[in-house]
Structure 1
């Protein structure tokens, strides 16, 4: 059983799913704000921050796909 099947087979109620979605959204927005501030102050972007931002974005997109598939 893969990760997606385990998540879809778990007892995930609507409030918990919204909580996860909101948490990922907050992480994505925070990452974008940090990147914007860093670019504004330094004029360049650190690869570590870019990695964190894009990994958060990837997890957010995957979580939305899993959530939509479970509907």
Structure 2
């Protein structure tokens, strides 16, 4: 929700429409994460990147992706 490059309020609905026929597709807006999936973003701008930790470092993101992969792989 703090991504200045891909604005969730503008893009999420269209992404959901695009994935409507994909049973494995899912659009999730993670509140407070930057474009680089970092926790604690205020503006989501580049000036915050260095102080917010590693890219894709959000435990919520890691858990969400891990759960999704487990579900998809178990279905095979």
> Structure 2 length normalisation: TM-score?
0.37
Larger Rg: 1
Higher relative contact order (CA 8 A, sep 6+): 1
> Structure 1 length normalisation: TM-score?
0.39
Between Structure 1 and Structure 2, the one with more helix by share is 1
